[in-house]
């Protein structure tokens, strides 16, 4: 038997050597059935060299990687404890005087015995002392002149030629609102007009741009702010409606509205009192959803006016008396003075009980409020004002150019001053000086009267308009007492700063006012 073993021609190093394996064929004897010529033969091992390893070597590339540097920072956090707190002011609880049982009367008596002599001695000395004669202290800077602080106007209203018909200051004295309309149209007009308000305490006050504007479908004749709520204002329209707006709500300022007949004047107390030329005096109260509801009504009928003076006409039938101006007394909240078209002021009370003889339709029974009639002016009265310092005095101004000073105790006026040859549209007492009042005239000026200095001619004459167009309304600011606002026919509102002599009370003024009021003819 031959064995052949030969290594392959390309045997590699390292590769597994192909070992020749030889098997020895064993010549076996004749096996059972195996033919003799068939013999086993062993061949050499055939090795096949690997091809892929030769062709493709090991390729190597160098790569490196590195993590970016880790940025670290220190921060700390701490949970904070929150506490909510609210602050609210409450109306002060009235403290009352201690009743006698809670203190020791004998000790009080002893104390009084001790101090009485000292006190009486000091009182006597004071009464006779001349130490302080002519001694005056000035705490504030003296202002000598009256100057115009602001000139406010609303250009769209001025472009329509609207007049300023009414002005009001709000309860905090920082906002002045004016109503636009026309006072010389005799008929119904569908003129759209405006109510504008300027906040004088804001630093970015722009005189031609009011901080709140309300568009109103008809001319507004009169305006009044709520006495305690700083943003509620009521206005009476030419169409006879009374609307109440809330100026702090910018989207829909209208709060309440009502429907009426004829033009009105309003004067909010805490409800709204409206006065109209058809002779009705109505008291409205706001109820929930936007309606002003009539709570009480009064009607002025000629028949029922108290005959305390001789009125020139003796009317027949139930003619109504138109009311054009209203003023509440500062001392008695149920007492008010009405100025009428006939020129005579009426003293009225909210508590009147007698029913009115009128056939005017009304949802509430009408009563006759008039208690006393004063002697008339020569023409309709446009403005009435009650003195804040004396319970019996009031002023009235009318188209005859006169201002009458009345005392509620007698019918003829105490004095009558001729201020102007044209109409007088507004008269107001000063809130700080008992003897000062201001009047707005049809000649375009505002006259300030000081009854202490001169009762014949005005102390200061302020020219509001250059072309003598009339000044229709004026109001003192009761919080910032040196400000006076006046509105005229050119559609501008001017805020005047008064000189110090109009804003500080002198020492004897209240007594002088009392003397004036006491000149009642007996």
Partner 1 sequence: MNEWTNTGREPDPLPSFLPGPTAPGLGEPQAEVEETLKRIQSHKGVIGTMVVNAEGIPIRTTLDNSTTVQYAGLLHHLTMKAKSTVRDIDPQNDLTFLRIRSKKHEIMVAPDKEYLLIVIQNPCE
Least gap, CB of 387 to partner 1 (angstroms): 18
Residue 374 dihedral angles phi and psi, to the nearest 5°:
-100, 165
Of 29-37, 116-124, 256-264, 429-437, which part binds partner 1 (CB under 8 A)?
116-124
Binder among 114, 310, 312, 313 for partner 1 (CB under 8 A): 114
Strands lying side by side in the sheet with 483-488? 147-153, 492-497, 483-488, 471-476
Binder among 80, 130, 203, 310 for partner 1 (CB under 8 A): 130
Binder among 15, 39, 50, 126 for partner 1 (CB under 8 A): 126
Is residue 452 part of the contact set for partner 1 (CB under 8 A)?
Answer: no
Least gap, CB of 436 to partner 1 (angstroms): 17
Strands 345-349 and 393-398: unpaired
Of 127-135, 221-229, 238-246, 366-374, which part binds partner 1 (CB under 8 A)?
127-135
Contact 440, 425 (CB under 8 A): yes
Least gap, CB of 392 to partner 1 (angstroms): 20
Tokens 């707006």 belong to which residue? 245
Residue of 497, 410, 509, 377 lying closest to 451 (CA atoms): 509
Token pair of 263 as six digits:
């033009």
Question: Which residue lies nearer to partner 1 by CB, 118 or 145?
Answer: 118
Binder among 64, 96, 142, 190 for partner 1 (CB under 8 A): 96
- With CB under 8 A as the rule, give the number of residues binding partner 1: 38
Is residue 91 part of the contact set for partner 1 (CB under 8 A)?
Answer: no
Question: Which residue lies nearer to partner 1 by CB, 260 or 436?
Answer: 436
Of 46-54, 96-104, 159-167, 414-422, which part binds partner 1 (CB under 8 A)?
96-104
Would you say how long the chain is, in residues?
522
Least gap, CB of 173 to partner 1 (angstroms): 22
Question: Which residue lies nearer to partner 1 by CB, 29 or 507?
Answer: 507
Is residue 94 part of the contact set for partner 1 (CB under 8 A)?
Answer: yes
Contact 339, 396 (CB under 8 A): yes
Burial of 65 (0-12, 13-18, 19+ CB in 10 A): exposed
Question: Which residue lies nearer to partner 1 by CB, 52 or 127?
Answer: 127
Is residue 140 part of the contact set for partner 1 (CB under 8 A)?
Answer: no
Site pattern 488..507 for partner 1 (x: CB under 8 A): -----------------xxx
Is residue 129 part of the contact set for partner 1 (CB under 8 A)?
Answer: yes
Residue of 421, 426, 429 lying closest to 476 (CA atoms): 429
Binder among 1, 10, 19, 112 for partner 1 (CB under 8 A): 112
350 CB neighbour count, 10 Å cutoff: 18
Residue of 432, 430, 319, 318 lying closest to 385 (CA atoms): 430
Least gap, CB of 130 to partner 1 (angstroms): 7
Question: Which residue lies nearer to partner 1 by CB, 115 or 421?
Answer: 115
Question: Which residue lies nearer to partner 1 by CB, 1 or 109?
Answer: 109
Residue of 144, 145, 149, 143 lying closest to 493 (CA atoms): 149
Of 31-39, 52-60, 106-114, 235-243, which part binds partner 1 (CB under 8 A)?
106-114
Binder among 106, 317, 353, 361 for partner 1 (CB under 8 A): 106
Contact 300, 321 (CB under 8 A): yes
C-alpha 385/C-alpha 390 separation (Å) is 12
Is residue 116 part of the contact set for partner 1 (CB under 8 A)?
Answer: yes
The number of angstroms, rounded, from the C-alpha of 238 to the middle of its chain's C-alpha atoms is 24
Is residue 312 part of the contact set for partner 1 (CB under 8 A)?
Answer: no
Question: Which residue lies nearer to partner 1 by CB, 188 or 331?
Answer: 331
Give the H or E element holding residue 155.
helix 155-159
**Between residue 334 and residue 353, which ones bind partner 1 under the rule CB under 8 A?**
none
74 CB neighbour count, 10 Å cutoff: 4
Least gap, CB of 500 to partner 1 (angstroms): 14
Question: Which residue lies nearer to partner 1 by CB, 396 or 430?
Answer: 430
C-alpha 468/C-alpha 288 separation (Å) is 46
Tokens 């002045």 belong to which residue? 176
Tokens 């709060």 belong to which residue? 255
Residue 335 dihedral angles phi and psi, to the nearest 5°:
-105, 135
Rg of the chain in Å (alpha carbons): 50
- Three-state SS string over 108-144 comes to HHHHHHHHHHHHHHHHHHHHHCCCCCCCCCCCCCCCC
Binder among 100, 317, 353, 361 for partner 1 (CB under 8 A): 100
Least gap, CB of 460 to partner 1 (angstroms): 23
Binding residues for partner 1, rule: CB under 8 A, are 94-98, 100, 103, 105-116, 118-120, 122-124, 126-127, 129-130, 132-133, 136, 505-508, 510-511
């Amino acid at each position: 038997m031959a064995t052949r073993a030969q290594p392959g021609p390309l045997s590699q190093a390292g590769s597994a050597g192909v070992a020749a394996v030889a098997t020895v064929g064993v010549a076996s004897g004749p096996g059972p059935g195996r033919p003799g010529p068939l013999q086993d033969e062993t061949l050499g091992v055939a090795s096949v060299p690997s091809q892929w390893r030769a062709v493709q070597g090991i390729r190597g590339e160098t790569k490196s990687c590195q993590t970016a540097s880790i940025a670290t920072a220190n921060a700390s956090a701490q949970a904070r404890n929150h506490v909510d707190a609210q602050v609210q002011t409450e109306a002060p609880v009235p403290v009352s005087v201690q009743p006698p049982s809670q203190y020791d009367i004998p000790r009080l008596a002893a104390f009084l015995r001790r101090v009485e002599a000292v006190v009486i001695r000091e009182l006597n000395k004071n009464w006779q002392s001349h130490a302080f004669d002519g001694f005056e202290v000035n705490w504030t800077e003296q202002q000598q002149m009256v100057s115009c602080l602001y000139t406010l106007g609303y250009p769209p209203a001025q472009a329509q030629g609207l007049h300023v018909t009414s002005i009001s200051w709000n309860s905090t004295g920082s906002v002045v609102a004016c109503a636009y309309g026309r006072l010389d149209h005799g008929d119904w007009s569908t003129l759209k007009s405006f109510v504008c308000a300027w906040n004088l305490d804001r630093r970015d006050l722009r005189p031609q741009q009011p901080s709140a504007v309300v568009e109103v479908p008809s001319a507004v004749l009169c305006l009044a702010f709520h006495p305690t709520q700083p943003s509620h204002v009521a206005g009476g329209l030419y169409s006879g409606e009374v609307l109440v707006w809330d100026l702090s709500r910018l989207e829909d300022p209208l709060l309440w509205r009502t429907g009426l007949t004829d033009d009105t004047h309003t004067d909010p107390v805490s409800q709204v009192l409206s006065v109209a030329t058809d002779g009705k005096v109505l008291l409205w109260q706001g109820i929930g959803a936007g309606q002003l509801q009539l709570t009480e009504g009064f009607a002025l009928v000629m028949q029922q006016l108290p005959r305390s003076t001789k009125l020139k006409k003796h009317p027949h039938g139930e003619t109504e008396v138109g009311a054009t101006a209203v003023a509440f007394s500062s001392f008695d909240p149920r007492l008010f003075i009405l100025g009428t078209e006939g020129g005579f002021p009426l003293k009225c009370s909210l508590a009147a009980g007698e029913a009115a003889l009128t056939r005017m339709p009304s949802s509430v029974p009408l009563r006759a409020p008039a208690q006393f009639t004063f002697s008339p002016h020569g023409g309709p009265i446009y403005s009435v004002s009650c003195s804040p310092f004396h319970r019996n005095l009031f002023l009235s101004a009318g188209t005859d150019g006169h201002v009458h000073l009345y005392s509620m105790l007698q019918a003829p006026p105490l004095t009558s001053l001729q201020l102007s040859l044209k109409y007088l549209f507004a008269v107001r007492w000063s809130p700080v000086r008992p003897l000062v009042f201001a009047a707005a005239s049809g000649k375009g000026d505002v006259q300030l009267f000081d009854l202490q200095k001169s009762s014949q001619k005005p102390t200061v004459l302020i020219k509001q308009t250059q072309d003598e167009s009339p000044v229709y309304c004026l109001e003192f600011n009761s919080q910032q007492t040196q400000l006076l606002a006046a509105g005229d026919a050119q559609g501008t509102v001017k805020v005047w700063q008064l000189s110090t002599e109009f804003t500080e009370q002198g020492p004897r003024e209240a007594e002088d006012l009392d003397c004036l009021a006491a000149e009642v003819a007996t």
